[in-house]
């Protein structure tokens, strides 16, 4: 249950903001041991940050895909202590809405296999076999918008 008087909001950015950088360092680098968390795409794509009150607690980014109608969701993360609030779907929904605004008709993503159930619950289906990325198993997933 959310703390009383704490509002959940999403903010959109066209650059990698400090709040997102903090979340990704905490989740991907410190918690999961990834080494290459940031790349040149970060300053060229859309980003969202999920806030609980004034505290940034989750993030994700939206990239153009293989054609003008397909987009790719990436770098979705929620700080560990807030995962039990089940707010990750708000990040995904916000990124899907942004893709629709840009006339997107489909979304792709590379999910950690441990989170496959989460994306399936949101309507994503798997395609292909699991593969290793940064010592973590991932699976390609997609959804029609």
Answer whether 56's CB lies under 8 Å from 49's CB. yes
Phi-psi region of 57 (alpha: psi -120 to 50; beta: other; left: phi over 0): alpha
| Domain ranges within the chain, ordered by starting residue | 8-104
Which residue has better confidence, 16 or 2? 16
- Please state, rounded to an integer, the average pLDDT across all residues of the chain: 92
Alpha-carbon gap, residue 114 to 51, rounded angstroms: 24
Which pLDDT tens digit goes with each residue over 31-74?
A: 988 888 899 999 889 999 999 999 999 999 999 998 889 999 99
Phi-psi region of 85 (alpha: psi -120 to 50; beta: other; left: phi over 0): alpha
**Global pTM?**
0.91
At the fourth CATH level, which superfamily is domain 8-104? Gcn5-related N-acetyltransferase (GNAT) (3.40.630.30)
């Amino acid at each position: 249950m959310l703390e009383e008087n704490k509002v959940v909001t999403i903010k959109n950015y066209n650059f990698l903001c400090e709040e997102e950088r903090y979340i990704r360092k905490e989740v991907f680098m410190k918690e999961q041991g990834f080494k290459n968390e940031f790349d040149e795409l970060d300053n060229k794509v859309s980003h969202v940050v999920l806030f609980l009150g004034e505290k940034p607690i989750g993030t994700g980014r939206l990239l153009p895909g293989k054609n003008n109608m397909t987009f790719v969701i990436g770098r979705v993360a929620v700080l560990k202590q807030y995962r039990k609030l089940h707010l990750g779907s708000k990040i995904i929904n916000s990124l899907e809405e942004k893709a629709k605004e840009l006339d997107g008709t489909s979304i792709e993503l590379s999910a950690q296999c441990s989170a496959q159930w989460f994306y399936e619950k949101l309507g994503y289906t798997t395609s292909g076999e699991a593969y290793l990325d940064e010592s973590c198993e991932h699976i390609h997933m997609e959804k029609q918008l």
